[in-house]
A and B are shown apart, each in its own frame.
Chain A
Amino acid sequence: MVLVLAEQNAGKFKKATLEVVTYGRKVADLLSCECTALVIGETDAAATLGQYGANKVLTTADAALENFDSQTYTSALGQVAEKVGAKVIIIGHNSTGKSIVGRLAARMDAGVISGAKSIPSVSNGFVVEKNVFSGKGIASFTLDTEVKIISVMGNSIQPEIIGSDVSPESVSLQIEDSKVTVKERKTVSGTVPLPEAELVVSAGRGMGGPDKWGIIEELAENIGATTACSRPVADTGWRPHHEHVGQTGVAIRPNLYFAIGISGAIQHLAGVSSSKVIVVINKDPEAPFFKNADYGIVGDLFDVVPRLNAALKEFKANNN
Chain B
Amino acid sequence: MKILVCVSKTPETTANINFVNNNTEFDTNGVSFIMNPYDEWYALVRALEITEANGGDVTLINVGPAANDAVIKKGLAIGAKEAVRIDAEPTSALFVAKQIAAYAKSQNFDIIFTGKESIDYNGSLVGGMIAELLSLPYISYATTLELNGNAATLNRDIEGGTEVVEVQTPFVVSAAKGMAEQRIPNMRGIMMAKKKPLAVVAAEAADDKEKVTEYKVVPKDRSIKMIDPENMKELVRMLHEESKVI
Mark the stretch among B102-110, B183-191, B232-240 that contacts chain A.
B232-240
Question: How far does the alpha carbon of A104 sit from the alpha carbon of B229 in the complex, in Å?
Answer: 51
Do residues B165 and A103 form an inter-chain contact, with CB atoms below 8 A?
no
Do residues A95 and B215 form an inter-chain contact, with CB atoms below 8 A?
no
Nearest Cβ on chain A to B147's Cβ, whole angstroms = 15
Q: At the interface, yes or no: B79 with Cβ under 8 Å from chain A?
A: no
Q: At the interface, yes or no: A161 with Cβ under 8 Å from chain B?
A: no
Find A294's partner among B93, B128, B157, B225 (CB 8 Å cutoff).
B225
Whether A103 contacts B132 in the complex (CB less than 8 A), given A140-B212, A292-B220, comes out as yes
Q: Which residues of A contact B128 (CB under 8 A)?
A: 70, 98-103, 106
Q: At the interface, yes or no: B85 with Cβ under 8 Å from chain A?
A: no
Find B225's partner among A99, A139, A295 (CB 8 Å cutoff).
A295
Mark the stretch among B12-20, B55-63, B69-77, B195-203 that contacts chain A.
B12-20
Do residues A295 and B227 form an inter-chain contact, with CB atoms below 8 A?
yes
Find B137's partner among A69, A138, A140, A279 (CB 8 Å cutoff).
A69
Do residues B167 and A179 form an inter-chain contact, with CB atoms below 8 A?
yes
Residues 65-101 of chain A: 1 if any B CB is under 8 Å from the residue's CB, otherwise 0?
0001111001000000000000000000011001111
Mark the stretch among A52-60, A162-170, A204-212, A299-307 that contacts chain B.
A299-307
Q: At the interface, yes or no: B143 with Cβ under 8 Å from chain A?
A: yes
Q: Which of B138, B214, B217 has the most CB of A within 10 A?
A: B138
Mark the stretch among B1-9, B46-54, B116-124 that contacts chain A.
B116-124
Residues 301-317 of chain A: 1 if any B CB is under 8 Å from the residue's CB, otherwise 0?
00110011011101100
Question: How far does the alpha carbon of A181 sit from the alpha carbon of B239 in the complex, in Å?
Answer: 46
Q: Which residues of A contact B232 (CB under 8 A)?
A: 297, 304, 307-308, 310-311
Q: At the interface, yes or no: B146 with Cβ under 8 Å from chain A?
A: no
Question: How far does the alpha carbon of A248 sit from the alpha carbon of B122 in the complex, in Å?
Answer: 11
Do residues A185 and B161 form an inter-chain contact, with CB atoms below 8 A?
yes
Q: Can you name the residue of chain B whose Cβ is closest to the Cβ of A278?
A: B222
Interface size on B, residues (CB 8 A): 82
Do residues A195 and B210 form an inter-chain contact, with CB atoms below 8 A?
no
Find B224's partner among A70, A110, A294 (CB 8 Å cutoff).
A294
Question: How far does the alpha carbon of A314 sit from the alpha carbon of B233 in the complex, in Å?
Answer: 9
List residues 105-132 of chain A with CB under 8 A from any CB of chain B. 105-107, 109-115, 125, 127, 130-132
Do residues A293 and B224 form an inter-chain contact, with CB atoms below 8 A?
yes
Q: Which residues of B contact A12 (CB under 8 A)?
A: none
Do residues B17 and A136 form an inter-chain contact, with CB atoms below 8 A?
yes
Whether A180 contacts B218 in the complex (CB less than 8 A), given A145-B209, A307-B230, comes out as no
Q: At the interface, yes or no: A51 with Cβ under 8 Å from chain B?
A: no
List residues 127-157 of chain B with CB under 8 A from any CB of chain A. 127-133, 135, 137-141, 143, 153, 156-157
Nearest Cβ on chain A to B196's Cβ, whole angstroms = 28
Do residues B17 and A241 form an inter-chain contact, with CB atoms below 8 A?
no
Q: At the interface, yes or no: A196 with Cβ under 8 Å from chain B?
A: yes
Do residues B218 and A188 form an inter-chain contact, with CB atoms below 8 A?
no
Find B122's partner among A69, A131, A294 (CB 8 Å cutoff).
A131
Do residues B236 and A315 form an inter-chain contact, with CB atoms below 8 A?
yes
Question: How far does the alpha carbon of A311 sit from the alpha carbon of B232 in the complex, in Å?
Answer: 6
Nearest Cβ on chain B to A57's Cβ, whole angstroms = 23
Do residues A106 and B132 form an inter-chain contact, with CB atoms below 8 A?
yes
Q: At the interface, yes or no: A273 with Cβ under 8 Å from chain B?
A: yes
Question: How far does the alpha carbon of A69 sit from the alpha carbon of B131 in the complex, in Å?
Answer: 12
Whether A99 contacts B138 in the complex (CB less than 8 A), given A112-B94, A304-B232, comes out as yes
Q: At the interface, yes or no: B125 with Cβ under 8 Å from chain A?
A: yes
Do residues A304 and B229 form an inter-chain contact, with CB atoms below 8 A?
yes
Q: At the interface, yes or no: B178 with Cβ under 8 Å from chain A?
A: yes
Nearest Cβ on chain A to B212's Cβ, whole angstroms = 5
Question: How far does the alpha carbon of A247 sit from the alpha carbon of B120 in the complex, in Å?
Answer: 10
Q: Which residues of B contact A113 (CB under 8 A)?
A: 210
Question: How far does the alpha carbon of A205 sit from the alpha carbon of B143 in the complex, in Å?
Answer: 24
Whether A186 contacts B243 in the complex (CB less than 8 A), given A103-B131, A137-B216, A292-B222, comes out as no
Q: At the interface, yes or no: A175 with Cβ under 8 Å from chain B?
A: no
Question: How far does the alpha carbon of A115 sit from the alpha carbon of B93 in the complex, in Å?
Answer: 14
Q: Which residues of A contact B129 (CB under 8 A)?
A: 102-103, 105-106
Q: Can you name the residue of chain B whose Cβ is closest to the Cβ of A94?
A: B159
Residues 24-65 of chain B: 1 if any A CB is under 8 Å from the residue's CB, otherwise 0?
001000000000011000000000000000000000000000
Beyond A132-B215, A133-B17, A142-B213: 6 further Cβ-contacts under 8 Å?
A95-B159, A99-B138, A109-B94, A132-B122, A291-B224, A294-B222
Interface residues of A (CB under 8 A from B): 68-71, 74, 94-95, 98-107, 109-115, 125, 127, 130-143, 145, 179-188, 191-196, 199, 223, 241-242, 244, 247-249, 251, 255-256, 266-267, 270, 273-274, 276-279, 290-299, 303-304, 307-308, 310-312, 314-315
Q: Which 4 A-B pairs have the closest CB atoms?
A: A102-B128, A299-B229, A187-B161, A193-B160
Task: Give 17 pairs: A residue, B residue, CB < 8 Å, sorted on A.
Answer: A68-B163, A95-B163, A105-B125, A105-B129, A106-B97, A132-B121, A136-B218, A180-B166, A187-B160, A188-B160, A188-B161, A241-B178, A248-B13, A256-B245, A274-B218, A294-B223, A295-B238
Interface residues of B (CB under 8 A from A): 11, 13-14, 16-17, 19, 26, 37-38, 93-94, 97, 119-133, 135, 137-141, 143, 153, 156-168, 171, 177-178, 209-218, 220, 222-230, 232-233, 235-240, 243, 245-246
